[in-house]
Amino acid sequence: MRTFVIAIATALIVLPAAAAEVQLKKADGIDKVEGNCAACHTLAYIPMNSPFLNAAGWTGEVTKMIKAYGAPIDDADAKAIAEYLTKNYGG
């Protein structure tokens, strides 16, 4: 049991640290992505989902984060985020 608890504690420490090391492509809009998206989840989802999403898909994801999950992202930032994701990760 003790080994299990140690393994869980280690995972809780190591996994977030590994996820924080994701380096996104440096381009216009990255500040909006890092400032808004990383507030709620790891940025690792971006390259992980990039093979599956085009411009409409990324716009839909940004819209979902705002409307379904309540992300406090204004319209200008939402547009910049979707454009960044489309130009650098699909579409």
Contact of 24 with 33, CB cutoff 8 Å: yes
Total residue count of the chain as it appears in this document = 91
For the chain, which domains are there? Answer: 23-89 (1.10.760.10)
Average pLDDT value over all residues in the chain: 88
- The pLDDT assigned to 81 comes to 98
- The pLDDT assigned to 21 comes to 78
Q: What is the mean pLDDT of residues 38-44?
A: 96
Q: Tell me the C-alpha distance between 16 and 79, whole Å.
A: 28
Q: Tell me the C-alpha distance between 61 and 53, whole Å.
A: 9
| Total-model pTM | 0.76
- The pLDDT assigned to 65 comes to 97
With cut-offs at 50, 70 and 90, classify the pLDDT of residue 13.
low
